[in-house]
Amino acid sequence: MDLARLVELGKIDKNTPHPPALIGQDGVLELTQLAIKKEIKAQIILNEGLMPGMHAIGEKLSRGEVFITDMLIAARAMNVALGQLKPFFLSGEIQAKGTIVLGTVKGDLHDIGKNLVKMIMEGDGWEVKDLGTDVSEEQFVEAVNNSTDAIVGISALLTTTMLHMGSAVQRLRENNPNTKIYIGGAPVSQSFCEEIGADGYFSNPHGLARELRKAPKLLI
């Protein structure tokens, strides 16, 4: 079985009991180690071995064929493989896809939606800096200043907090007009997104993942 499929199934290593059909067989850990030993380029292991597995499960989730739990199980296996590739990230041999700064707006504590965005974007190969809930404009700006290429994702669930998205967008634009900003959450919409000058509204994280996969400068 190839690496991507093992990621998709969440088979971590030989000893893990999940999935039952693969008990005793090599998992993502062994295959990644083998690939490194065979001197396959780390970027290729990541792009052609591991990521397709995450994309496959992400697509299945967006089509409603699997559940978030399956995605998290796959992500757990993926993380074990990434642990093996860590030296190559540190040496700069592999470049991560990019960073997403994520948070729920000021005054709002709803976080399940945002947490799901985090999980799904991480599964898609992004590094996510989760600022949590009740995030002020200044905190968003500061986070972007710490990773200047970062994309920003903002969530709001209350009609009385969604307008803070507007001021966050404004502050982020003043800080760096090129920052890409995406929004989501039950009360917001595409027209609201246009009104406040954000770059896109998505009713679910898959939409954002797909949009960002289209972006030309990205590696994967």
Partner 1 sequence: MTKYFGSLAIKHPDDLIFGYAPKPVSCGQGLTIGVGQVFPEINFTLPPMLINESNWNEVLSHYHNICENVLARAEKLRVPGIVMEFEHLPPMSMKPELGAEITSLIKNYLLEFYRRTGIPNALRVTVVDLRDADHPPLLRSGQRWEQTREAFILSAVAGADILSIESVGGKEVHDQALMYSDLSGIVASLGILACRDMGWLWDEIVDICKEYDVVPGGDTACGFSNTAMQMAGQGLLPATLSALVRAASAPRSLVAYEHGAIGPSKDCAYEGPIIKAITGVPISMEGKSSCCAHFSPLGNIAGAMADLWSNESVQNIKLLSGTAPEAFLELLAYDCRLFNIAENKNESRMYRDLLVRSDLEQSPEALMLEPQTVLRIARSIAQCPNPYTQTRNAIFTAFKSLQDAVDSNQLKLPSREQTWWSKIPGLLAQIPENENEAIEYLITTYHGVFNPQAYGL
Interacting residue ranges for ligand B12, rule: CB under 6 A: 108-114, 116-117, 153-155, 157-160, 182-187, 202-205, 208
CA dist 34 and 48 (Å) reads: 15
CA dist 101 and 147 (Å) reads: 9
User: Which span sits near partner 1 by CB under 8 A: 31-39, 51-59, 127-135, 172-180?
Assistant: 127-135
Alpha-carbon dihedral angle through residues 65, 129, 102, 84, given to the nearest 10 degrees: -10
CA dist 84 and 169 (Å) reads: 38
Q: In the complex with partner 1, which residue's Cβ is closer, 87 or 187?
A: 187
Q: What is the Rg, in whole angstroms, of the alpha carbon atoms belonging to the chain?
A: 18
Closest separation between CB of residue 109 and partner 1, Å?
Answer: 5
Q: Is 218 in the site for partner 1 (CB under 8 A)?
A: no
Q: Is 187 in the site for partner 1 (CB under 8 A)?
A: yes
- Give the x/- contact pattern for partner 1 in 35-64, rule: CB under 8 A: --------------------------x--x
Closest separation between CB of residue 128 and partner 1, Å?
Answer: 15
Q: Pick what 56 binds: partner 1, ligand B12, none; C-beta below 5 to 8 Å, kind-dependent.
A: none
Is the CB of residue 182 less than 8 Å from the CB of residue 210?
Answer: no
